[in-house]
Amino acid sequence: MLPIVIVGGIGVLVVGIILVLVYSLKQNNSTTPDKRARNQEILFKQVNKRLEQNPRDPESLIIVGNIYFQEQNWAAAFKTYEILTELSLSNKDINEFEAKLRYGLAALQLEKQDEAYKALLSARSLQQNNFEVNYNLGILEFQRKNYEKAAHDLIQACRQNPEHPQALRYLGDAFVNLGKYKEALPLIRKAIDFAPTDKECLYTLGTCYFELGRFDQALSIFSHLRLDPVLGAGACLSSGIINTSQHQNVNAIQDFEIGLRHEKHALPEVITEIRYRLATVYLGQNEIGKALSLLEVIRAENPVYKDVNDLIARYQELNANKNYQIFMLAPSADFIALCRKIVLSYYTKSKVKILNITNRSEWIDIVAEIETSKWSDTIVFRFIRTPGSIGELVIRDFHIRIKEVKAGKGICMSCGKYSAEARRYTEARIIDLIEKEKLMDILNAVDAKMASSTAIAHK
């Protein structure tokens, strides 16, 4: 139901017997509510007798319409002012503007938006600068998502009543929906000054701060609203996004987990986005099992949501293979430890001496002396963590490194694939390229090989 502002007393045209009757009732009117109610009841009965004789009697309709409107009997007021609106076109004694305004306002209360819109537009053609008309037309345009028109109407309303909280708030909301956050901000602040308990207005203020990059102020508001049953889910989502961007992952997880508790009262798309955001934070924390559980729920509800299918396919494999998970996601120290194990166990029945480890963001190089019963040589191992295609430039760089240490061979391992150019470059050079499929075999076997090598060494 839309909020409306009811105009003060308006002139009532009463002629003949009705004028005498009203005058008499005013003279006998008491200050007590009971007597006033009885007097109005008498007036109402007298007027209804006239309407029984002539249902379109304008004077009687004006009186009963005014009573219905003041008592907020919207259904009766709607029917009465519908007739008066028709009659006003040919009867100049009827206030046409008032009839159309009240007809529109009654229609709003009955949620008859189309009738209200037409009536209020017609009323505005008679009076351009009426607050009630512009305000309610602005809200109707806002509900129709015609935000430009809503802003135009509400700007007029705010000029006529600069201290009306709802008009300020709706104008601010219209600007927010138009992406005009800078223009919305002072309006929302002022609306909150007049109505400090309006949580929806406070939420909109947080959105303005967020979109303007004022994250500390936005975070303060959204954190305050996280437990609200209506606004809590959206507040948790926004708060979690801010904390994630500031690398406050523990706080972000808390935000998103609180948000999921509002599932019964929140929009489904908000809950889905909270799950997705929480899953991505879990992935960043290497809590793959928790992330996959959330992603599976999202896929069950929306099979094409963002990159959920790709994430599930990728991380299910990681979740099933601890060494692959270390290779792809673990901190640098754990990654290097795994690569050392691969080097130490790569050649069976061999003695291995690691000479040098070079750590870069994209890969690590391990230089090792390998001695077997048949040969000995220096080998350079390169382990590339980044997925996707490995190009020729990376392999050229690797070849330079092999020559620098005077190694006899290079072995490059990647969880991705090598480009055709990279493969051609290695054809005349002693470089082995190991892609994901073979790397997975190595990762699956490395722990068993290390255990076997240790047992042999102890013997």
pLDDT above 90 coverage of the chain, percent: 69
User: What pLDDT shows up at residue 267?
Assistant: 94
**Residue 143 CB neighbour total at 10 angstroms:** 13
User: Rounded distance, CA 270 to CA 298, Å?
Assistant: 12
Angle at 75 between CA 71 and CA 76, to 5 degrees: 65
Q: Across residues 63-83, what is the average pLDDT?
A: 89
pLDDT score at 63: 84
Higher pLDDT, 100 or 386: 100
Confidence of residue 39 (pLDDT cuts 50, 70, 90): low
pLDDT band at 21 (very low <50, low <70, confident <90, very high): very low
Rounded to an integer, the average pLDDT of 337-341 is: 95
Q: What is the CATH number of the domain that holds 415?
A: 3.40.1350.10
Who's near 119: CB < 8 A, 6+ residues apart? 85, 100, 101, 103, 104, 107
Going through 54-156 in order, the beta strands assigned E by DSSP cover none
Range of the domain at 395: 331-458
pLDDT of 25 over the 50 cut? no
Domain-located, residue 205: no
Q: Fill in the amino acid letter for 169.
A: R
CA 30 to chain centre: 58
Which of 127, 157, 184 is at the close of a domain?
Answer: 127
Those residues whose C-beta lies under 8 Å from the C-beta of residue 291, and which sit 6 or more positions away, are 279, 280, 282, 283, 311, 315
Domain membership of residue 88 (yes or no) is yes
% of the chain surpassing 70 pLDDT: 87
pTM to 2 decimals? 0.69
Which pLDDT tens digit goes with each residue over 173-226?
999 999 999 999 999 999 999 888 899 999 999 999 999 999 999 999 999 999
In a domain, 108, yes or no: yes
pLDDT for the residue numbered 19: 45
Dihedral pair phi/psi, residue 95, rounded to 5°? -70, 100
**What is the number of alpha carbons within 13 Å of residue 205 lying toward its C-beta?**
23
For residues 337 and 450, give the distance between their C-alpha atoms in angstroms, rounded to a whole number.
12
At 403, is the pLDDT very low, low, confident or very high (cuts 50, 70, 90)?
Answer: very high
Q: How far apart are CA 125 and CA 404, in angstroms?
A: 86
**Which pLDDT does position 414 carry in this prediction?**
94
Tokens of 307: 């990159």
| Per-residue pLDDT at 15 | 41
What number is the average pLDDT over the span 162-177?
A: 94
Query: Is residue 370 domain-resident?
Result: yes
The dihedrals phi and psi of 234, each to the nearest 5 degrees, come to -65, -40
Nearest partner of 300 among 316, 315, 312, judged by Cα: 312
User: Between these two residues, 296 and 450, which has the higher pLDDT value?
Assistant: 296
| 92-132 tens-digit pLDDT | 889 999 999 999 999 999 999 999 999 999 999 999 999 99
Is 248's pLDDT higher than 70?
yes
d(C-alpha 399, C-alpha 405), whole Å:
10
Q: Which of 19, 13, 153, 156 is nearest to 96 (CA)?
A: 13
pLDDT band for position 348 (cuts 50, 70, 90): confident
- For residues 330-356, give the mean pLDDT: 93
Q: Is 405:367 a contact under the CB 8 Å cutoff?
A: yes
| Least confidently predicted of 11-20, 352-361, 411-420 | 11-20
> Is residue 138 in some structural domain?
no
pLDDT of residue 451: 63
The answer to the question of residue 319 being in a domain is no
| Among 39-43, 136-140, 162-166, the range of highest mean pLDDT | 136-140
Coil vs helix vs strand at 430: coil
Residue at which a domain ends, from 95, 127, 159? 127
Please determine, for residue 29, whether its predicted confidence score (pLDDT) is greater than 60: no
- The CATH number covering residue 75 comes to 1.25.40.10
Domain end, chosen from 127, 155, 174, is at: 127
**Domain contains 426:** yes
- Closest to 193 (Cα-Cα) out of 182, 184, 201, 204: 201
Average pLDDT, the chain: 87
Q: Supply the pLDDT for residue 428.
A: 85
Taking alpha carbons only, the member of 107, 111, 153 closest to residue 130 is 153
Which residue is associated with the tokens 């009841």?
Answer: 41
More confident: 72 or 25: 72
Does the pLDDT at position 41 exceed 80?
A: no
pLDDT at 444 over 60: yes
Could you give the angle at which helices 249-260 and 268-284 cross, rounded to 10 degrees?
Answer: 150
Q: Per-residue pLDDT averaged across 8-21, rounded?
A: 40
Match 């708060």 to its residue by tokens.
239
Q: Is residue 201 part of a domain?
A: no
Number of C-beta neighbours around residue 367 at 10 A: 22
User: Could you give the number of structural domains in the chain?
Assistant: 2
pLDDT at 40: 62
Residue 62 has pLDDT above 90, yes or no: no
